[in-house]
A and B are shown apart, each in its own frame.
Chain A
Amino acid sequence: MSSAVSFARMVRVLALAIPCLLPLLSGCDLDSYPAELTYPLRSDPIVTSPPGSTRWDTTAPGQLDMHIAHLSDPEVGGKTLDPAKLPAKERGELERALNEIFGTPATPKVFLKDADDEVKSRIQDLKLDDKTLAHGSIVYRRHCMHCHGVTGDGRGPTGPWINPTPRDYRQGLFKFMSTAVEVNNRKPRREDLRRTLEHGIEGTSMPSFSLLEEAEKEALVSYVIHLSLRGECERYTMEPILDGSGLEGSVREKVVELLGDFLHAWANSNAKGIEPGAYPYKEGDLQASIRRGFQLFTDPRGSASCINCHVDFGRQAPFRYDKWGTLVRPANLTAGVYRGGRRPIDIYWRIRGGIDPSQMPRADFGDQAAHKEQWRNNADPYWDLVNFVQALPYPQMLPEDVRDSIYGRRHEKTEHAQR
């Protein structure tokens, strides 16, 4: 009952407990990735060609991998390759090569021992220096990793449960780009990644990161490019081994070769954006422009023929497979939700450049001289389409007849099935 004894014991227990606890907690508050962590080699199937069919329902959350595994079923009609079938020797070589060139999550790099000046300058242009990447990896781990995953595979712990699924950078495919259409193997420019980062993607779970510091955003962009390069090299080294066509040289040579190609593509893309024509209209021309845009949009055989995919202006568009093997649908343009940004220039870029990975073709009206009837009255059909798409969700902006044919005539009893 004596409390003196208990106090003494208490002190003793405390003295024992605190040193015991400190090592337990010492690993906490880790800014960067654990040093011993390496990028794991790809294990999920590679979608080499997505199925062409359409569907009415989307994939249930959490079922992404199951869904992709089923793509190669004959009735679905896609083609996939399984990285698990990679022979042990190649696997080891690939792992070593990738780790040597791209480093680990804690110390990411794009490092080529015997790089020529051109490659070095490309790395410099794309800001893939070690310091930026290390900073990017810290920021990425904190803000992005739980959805996009350590390797940028879009399979972080939360990733599979989000619909639309987070972007898988490892294919080197991106949707929203302002890269000039002439560029081969279009990659997004740094500004495009910045835009996505700052504005988020409306209508998905990608939030805006506009409040990050300037340097953090830049570092993130670099790190995303790094992950994308690593993933693409990995994928296109695996692909010939898996589909049986085989490699010409060693695995490492292949990786280095691919890296050179991709760096080239990224640097080229970064250098050249779409230059939109000057906006040709004054305030008062808007209604006429919207009407022209409507006609271009709905003309099923025109150069744009948007209505063929954006059925009923996207309201009744079925799902299709994109190049990642996930289901997406042509946007519902009446909803006023613009994933790639809602500025006119953003919409212009998408119409002009298309969205390659989800197989949205680019509109091509050629130049003014060659296509007289599309460019009549000095009107710019691209801007007509932009104006129409921008006004589409706002019925008050549309000319009366256009509005009636989009939203129906509401003054009298609606007639349908009377075609």
Chain B
Amino acid sequence: MQQKGWGIFFGVVLLAAFLSIAVGPLVGWWLPANVSSFGPDVDYLYYVILGFTTFFFLLTEVLLVWAMYRFAGRPGNKSQYVEGHHRLEMLWTVVPGGILLYIAIAQISAWERIKYQAKMPDPDLVMQVTARQWDWTMRYADTPLPENHRRWAEIPNFDDIYLPDELHCWKGANVRIYLKTNDVLHSLFLPQLRLKQDALPGKTIPVWFNATDANTRFNASTGNCEWTDKNKEWEIACAELCGGGHYRMRGLLYVHETKDDYLNWLKHAQKAARSRQPEKKATPVAAKD
């Protein structure tokens, strides 16, 4: 009986592990909200893989635990004398093989859609993001879509607006980002948009996204962007080690409701960037209580 305890021990630990993942969605330990046009593809594939892996996880671990429980040794007993089973081998080669091949092929179109430059949609909004140690510099043209935007990405323009750490776009816009880095490798990571791309020194890498939800209201009187919902504070992170400040390359993603909202904001940002007079703003409250 004591021998059988080991099967139970394994079973309990593995079950706890399984449950900790299974309760994840209930307590918020799960994928962040998805606001990307291709995000559902990614999530769908994630759930497909999760389904298959959960099945195989349960299958193998249950078999293992059961075997550990059932076939715990007793003195004087003898095991079955089996060297192998050809058909069984074929079975568990071909079936997982087929499933794996299916998983692989299922990925291809989504991957093409996300990353292939030829398949990127024509942009409505273009910006250039330059990573540096340790923040993001977003460069906006004075219109959402400058003429010959690829060249615009290479050659800085007098009218450009530079903003640290703030990425503005509007809902439903096909955004094209030309990603550069000033120094080491960085990686632009937008968890809610299911987007990640390394920035390579010496290269300009195009990435695109299309946000399907808005989170920002532009307040023209204060000149601030306000969240429409407290839980929709979408963030930008760096996902490639870039030195000591790697963790602090935080940025914010502002998705405006309409193009007009965006243009309003842009006008305001332009004004601030070309300010020729000191700000006449009352200094805000000092200490936090």
Contact = CB atoms under 8 A, between A and B. Distances in A.
User: Is chain B in direct contact with chain A in the complex (CB below 8 A)?
Assistant: yes
Given A343-B273, A345-B276, A190 B283 contact: yes
Interface string B244-262: 1100111110000000000
Interface in A202-224: 202, 205, 207-208, 210-211, 213-216, 218-219, 222
A173 B225 CA distance: 35
Given A158-B244, A207-B248, A211-B251, A344 B275 contact: yes
A202 B162 CA distance: 11
A127 B288 CA distance: 12
B164 A215 contact: no
A210 B165 contact: yes
Given A205-B133, A219-B286, A391-B158, A199 B164 contact: yes
A352 to B, nearest CB: 12
A231 to B, nearest CB: 22
B250 A211 contact: yes
Interface string B39-57: 0000000000000000000
B274 interface: yes
A56 B89 CA distance: 71
A3 B273 contact: no
Contacts of A275: 278
A185 B286 CA distance: 25
B156 A394 contact: yes
How large, as a class, is the contact surface on chain B?
A: 35 or more
Contact of A146 (B244, B275, B279): B244
Interface in A111-139: 127, 129, 131-132, 135
A129 B156 contact: no
A281 to B, nearest CB: 10
B165 A211 contact: yes
A184 B33 CA distance: 55
B219 interface: no
Given A132-B286, A218-B286, A210 B164 contact: yes
B287 A219 contact: yes
Contact of A135 (B3, B244, B277, B287): B287
Interface in B119-171: 132-135, 137, 156-158, 162, 164-166
B6 A344 contact: no
B283 A279 contact: no
A348 B286 contact: no
A396 interface: yes
Contact of A208 (B157, B165, B283): B165
Contacts of B2: 1-4
Interface in A173-189: 178
A336 interface: yes
Contact of B287 (A131, A158, A274): A131
A2 B3 CA distance: 8
A2 B2 CA distance: 6
B5 interface: yes
A139 B285 CA distance: 17
A342 B162 contact: yes
Contacts of A222: 286
Q: Main secondary structure on chain B at its contact with chain A?
A: loop
Contacts of A7: 5
Contacts of A146: 244
A103 interface: no
A355 B133 CA distance: 25
A178 B279 CA distance: 11
A215 B285 contact: yes
Contacts of A260: none
Interface residues of A, number: 50
B202 interface: no
A39 B144 CA distance: 51
B287 A218 contact: yes
A279 B285 contact: no
A76 B162 CA distance: 40
A191 B279 contact: yes
B76 interface: no
A279 B275 CA distance: 10
B25 interface: no
Interface in A260-276: 273-276
Nearest to B244: A158
A200 B285 contact: no
Interface of B: 2-3, 5-6, 9, 132-135, 137, 156-158, 162, 164-166, 244-245, 248-252, 272-279, 283-288
Interface of A: 1-4, 7, 127, 129, 131-132, 135, 143, 146, 158, 178, 190-191, 198-200, 202, 205, 207-208, 210-211, 213-216, 218-219, 222, 273-276, 279, 336, 342-345, 348, 383, 390-391, 393-394, 396-397
The 7 A-B residue pairs with the shortest CB-CB distance, nearest first, are: A208-B164, A215-B288, A207-B135, A132-B287, A394-B158, A397-B158, A131-B287
Given A190-B283, A394-B157, 18 more contacts: A4-B5, A127-B286, A191-B278, A200-B135, A202-B137, A207-B132, A207-B134, A207-B249, A211-B165, A211-B251, A213-B288, A214-B284, A215-B284, A219-B288, A275-B278, A344-B274, A344-B276, A393-B156
27 contacts: A2-B2, A3-B6, A4-B5, A135-B287, A207-B133, A207-B135, A207-B245, A207-B248, A208-B165, A210-B165, A210-B166, A211-B250, A211-B252, A215-B286, A215-B288, A218-B286, A218-B287, A219-B286, A219-B287, A219-B288, A276-B278, A342-B162, A342-B273, A343-B275, A344-B276, A394-B156, A394-B158
